[in-house]
A and B are shown apart, each in its own frame.
Chain A
Amino acid sequence: DPKIIQKPKYLVAVTGSEKILICEQYLGHNAMYWYRQSAKKPLEFMFSYSYQKLMDNQTASSRFQPQSSKKNHLDLQITALKPDDSATYFCASSHPGQSNERLFFGHGTKLSVL
């Protein structure tokens, strides 16, 4: 029973198109993140949000835009898709203030850009 739900699990897109990756967490966490994993750069941090506010952005391109409509939602909009964007995108969450602030990952969305 996954507590961090990512949709869709697989996504195929054409170059130049726009897609939205969905993430909802039911762990009661206040912080959410996006990470990207590809053969070139395993588990790369992209964004962090806390209480729906952007805390950190390590993504150079403005084509990647996180969207948080609720505390337990953090979607990722990607515009003008490129083949290099092909990767598995993992949403994650944590509970700031806990002694170890452990990070938990969703099952990922595997994006293929043709």
Chain B
Amino acid sequence: GEQVEQLPSILRVQEGSSASINCSYEDSASNYFPWYKQEPGENPKLIIDIRSNMERKQIQELIVLLDKKAKRFSLHITDTQPGDSAMYFCAARVNSGGSNAKLTFGKGTKLSVKS
């Protein structure tokens, strides 16, 4: 099955700076790449996603880049705020052709934004 690697596992940044999280995947059939944010004691919440027909997507301070040739995708948070502190998970979905949104997740990045 698909494997997703996520780095770094821990990321500490200063408020107002940028934070970048990188993920790689193995299966070239993967066509959908969401990012989830999870705060302590809460459920993972979808914050941004990108499909394989795009290379870049931005929602406010969140930017996702996808390099299909290298099988890599990344999340960039510009102008980080203390409220961005959380666990972030990348994921990939293989286009199985069926009614199945099974996602394979990375191991997560714990982001801490210091003020």
In the complex, chain B residues whose CB is within 8 Å of the CB of A84: none
A-B pairs with CB below 8 Å: how many?
Answer: 65
Determine whether the beta carbon of B105 is less than 8 Å from that of A42. Answer: yes
Number of residues in A with C-beta < 8 Å to the partner?
Answer: 27
Closest Cβ of chain A to B111, distance in Å, is 15
B-contacting residues, A13-58, CB 8 Å: 30-31, 33, 42-45, 48, 50-51, 55-56, 58
Lowest 10 CB-CB distances: which A-B pairs, in order?
Answer: A96-B99, A43-B105, A94-B101, A50-B99, A105-B43, A101-B101, A107-B43, A55-B100, A42-B108, A103-B101
Of residues 30 through 60 on chain B, the ones whose CB sits less than 8 Å from some CB of chain A are 32, 34, 36, 42-46, 49, 51
- Which residues of B pack against A, CB within 8 Å? 1, 32, 34, 36, 42-46, 49, 51, 89, 91, 93, 98-105, 107-108
Q: In whole angstroms, how far apart are the Cα atoms of A87 and B99 in the complex?
A: 27
> Interface on A for B, CB 8 Å cutoff?
30-31, 33, 42-45, 48, 50-51, 55-56, 58, 90, 94, 96-97, 99-108
User: Cα distance A90–B34 when bound, in Å?
Assistant: 17
Question: What is the CA–CA distance of A55 and B22 in the complex, to the nearest angstrom?
Answer: 30
